[in-house]
Structures are given as structure tokens and as C-alpha cells.
Amino acid sequence: MRILLSGATGAMGKMVAAQAKAAEDAEIVFGWTEATGETAAFPLSANIEDAPAADVLIDFSLHTTLPTLVAYARAHHLPMVIATTGHTPEELALMDQAAEEVPVFHSGNFSLGVHVLKLLARSAAAALPDFDIEIIEAHHHRKVDAPSGTAKMLVSAIQDVRPDTTVIGGRDGHVGARPADEIGVHAVRGGSIVGEHTVLLAGLDEMIEIKHTALSRAIFAKGALAAARFVTSAAPGLYDMDDLFLNDK
Ligand SMILES: NC(=O)C1=CN([C@@H]2O[C@H](COP(=O)(O)OP(=O)(O)OC[C@H]3O[C@@H](n4cnc5c(N)ncnc54)[C@H](OP(=O)(O)O)[C@@H]3O)[C@@H](O)[C@H]2O)C=CC1
Ligand SMILES: O=C(O)C1=N[C@H](C(=O)O)C[C@H](O)C1
């Protein structure tokens, strides 16, 4: 599997390159980055048109790269794995359009543990309709988007069973008593925290916390490579982690 890697010199790009090297069936053939002064075991360029033929594109960069990536993938009929977070509604719509022509695998989190956290959160929200739900996410101080893509995914899974809820961010001042139809989402940033997500369900006199802690970025890279294997033989369409783990929908 020949991989075109977007964001190749970033923290995740380097981890994907290391995991691809350890895998027998994957090879990074090109890295797209603005940091072309860096060195890698594969060619780096700030111009995606310099890329050689590839089987799949993996993106861990910045949301603003999406239009360029989609144009390239459409022109070269290249399946896409989009791991970058923080896309605008317009960029998400572009992803939907691309999926009409090429397979697009998009997830805010490629770890197996977070996939299960999402399923647990959805079940708990359905089983405990009177419990208030808050999501707390924590990440390293380099992270540029908030709330995290994972937190947004968790909200979406909870809203599958609580469609009338609205999301609010940090509370400040005299905000009044908490309405039952809120989901509070809180972003913590500091140091080198890889990624933590807690779903808190608070009822009267009892509460449940479901928490995932990422101990290494390797989990995201391995998941993205599994998604890349999946999309290289998939039909055009939009895919997510549910498609990797059948019967989970
Ligand atoms: N879905 C998932 O499981 C995960 C998703 N992520 C997401 O992946 C993204 C990257 O994270 P991380 O690696 O920590 O971030 P970094 O800031 O370490 O890396 C981002 C990379 O993207 C490059 N880049 C930025 N703009 C462009 C551009 N216009 N053209 C080409 N390259 C560009 C940067 O190059 P330069 O430094 O030169 O600007 C850098 O190499 C984030 O959105 C993060 O949320 C992260 C972990 C897991
Ligand atoms: O930026 C990160 O580092 C991460 N981003 C993803 C997100 O926004 O949820 C996934 C993971 O938590 C790490």
C-alpha cells in the first residue's frame, strides 16, 4: 500500500511514518508538508503535485488543507483517510461531495478504545434518560482546535438517542440552573497530554464516568493504517470507525 502522507512532519505524521515502517504492507511514498527543511525517509514537498502514484492518502494536518486534498484525490481517484480535526461546515460538505467519487474514511479518533467509549456513551445516555451529561476532554498545549474532534463525535453519538439536546461550552457568570436538554463540553489544554475524554453522566445521588486515556499516539496511527487498508478496496462513499467494526451501528 503506497501512502501519500499529508502533515508528514507533524507529531502524528511522524508516528504514521514509524508505524508504516513497522508494517509489512505499507510504504510512505511522499510527504506533504510546509516544513520542507526537515528530512524523512521519503520525499517531502510543499507542492502536492510533486507526489508520485499512490494507493491512498492519509491526512493528519490542518483543516484548511482539505480543499487541496479533495481536488488532488478526485483528480487521481485516490481513496482518502481524513484524521485531521476542526473542519468548518463548508469543508465537511466538501468531504461529502468527494465521497461521491472516491472512498473517504473520516474519523475524529482512530483508536479502538475511543470507538468503544462512543458505543458505551450512546448506550448509557439511552439507559439513563434523566441523567445530565457533560464531556471533558484534555489535550497537549499545541492543539489548535477545540473542542476536540473526538468530543464532537461523542456528542453526535449521544444525540442519536437524545436528539433534542443542545451543546454548550464553558459556563461563566449567572447562567441559571442547568437545563436537562444541555450537553456541556469542556476543553482542557496543557503540557504533553496525548488525549483524554471523559463522559460524565450525573443523576440524583449517583454518577457514572466513562473515560478513555490515550497513552501514545501509536493507537491513532495504527487505526489510520487499518482505515487505509479498508478504503483501498472500498467503493466511493463516506466511512467511519463503525465500518471497521461491523455490527456496531
Ligand atoms: N483522528 C485522530 O485519531 C487524530 C487526529 N489528530 C489530528 O491531526 C491533526 C494533526 O495533529 P498533530 O500531528 O498533533 O499536529 P502538528 O501540528 O504536530 O502537525 C500538523 C502538520 O500539518 C502540517 N501542515 C499544516 N498546514 C499545512 C499545509 N497548508 N500544507 C501542508 N502541511 C501543512 C504542519 O506543517 P508545519 O508544521 O510546517 O506547518 C505539520 O507537519 C490535528 O487536526 C489533530 O487534531 C491527531 C491525533 C489523532
Ligand atoms: O490533536 C490531537 O492530539 C488529537 N486530536 C484528536 C481530536 O481532536 O479528538 C484525537 C486525539 O484525541 C488527539
Domain that holds residue 196: 112-214
Assess whether 19 and 141 both reside in one domain.
Answer: no
ipTM field: 0.97
Assess whether 83 and 138 both reside in one domain.
Answer: no
Question: What pLDDT was estimated at residue 170?
Answer: 87
* Mutational pocket test of ligand 1: of 62, 104, 219, 222, the residue with most ligand atoms within 8 Å of the beta carbon: 62
Assess whether 184 and 230 both reside in one domain.
Answer: no
Which positions ≥6 away from 127 have C-beta within 8 Å? none
CATH number at residue 183: 3.30.360.10
User: For the residues 205-226, what does the mean pLDDT come to?
Assistant: 98
Count of residues in the chain: 249
Assess whether 141 and 80 both reside in one domain.
Answer: no
Assess whether 120 and 179 both reside in one domain.
Answer: yes
For ligand 2, whether the C-beta of 7 sits within 6 Å is no
- Nearest-5° angle of CA 223, CA 232, CA 14? 40
For ligand 1, whether the C-beta of 65 sits within 6 Å is yes
Assess whether 11 and 100 both reside in one domain.
Answer: yes
Kindly report the protein residue whose alpha carbon is nearest to atom 10 of ligand 2: 109
Question: What pLDDT was estimated at residue 166?
Answer: 96
Whether residue 211 lies in the annotated active site? no
Q: What is the mean pLDDT of the chain?
A: 96
CA 237 / ligand 1 centre spacing (Å): 24
Assess whether 20 and 84 both reside in one domain.
Answer: yes
Does residue 36 register a pLDDT over 80?
no
Assess whether 158 and 241 both reside in one domain.
Answer: no
Assess whether 43 and 102 both reside in one domain.
Answer: yes
* CA pair distance 206, 80, nearest whole angstrom: 44
Assess whether 144 and 51 both reside in one domain.
Answer: no
Whether residue 143 lies in the annotated active site? yes
| Number of domain units in the chain | 2
DSSP codes joined into one string, the chain: -EEEEETTTSHHHHHHHHHHHHSSS-EEEEEE-S-TTS--SS-EES-GGG----SEEEE-S-GGGHHHHHHHHHHHT--EEE------HHHHHHHHHHTTTSEEEE-S---HHHHHHHHHHHHHHHH-TTSEEEEEEEE-TT--SSS-HHHHHHHHHHHHH-TT-EEE----SS--SPPTTEEEEEEEE-TT---EEEEEEE-SS-EEEEEEE---THHHHHHHHHHHHHHHTPPSEEE-HHHHSTT--
For ligand 1, whether the C-beta of 32 sits within 6 Å is yes
For ligand 1, whether the C-beta of 113 sits within 6 Å is no
Assess whether 144 and 56 both reside in one domain.
Answer: no
Assess whether 32 and 65 both reside in one domain.
Answer: yes
Model confidence at 245, in pLDDT bands (50, 70, 90)?
Answer: confident
- In the set 139, 152, 197, 222, the catalytic residue is 139
CA 245 / ligand 1 centre spacing (Å): 26
CATH number at residue 30: 3.40.50.720
User: For the residues 218-233, what does the mean pLDDT come to?
Assistant: 98
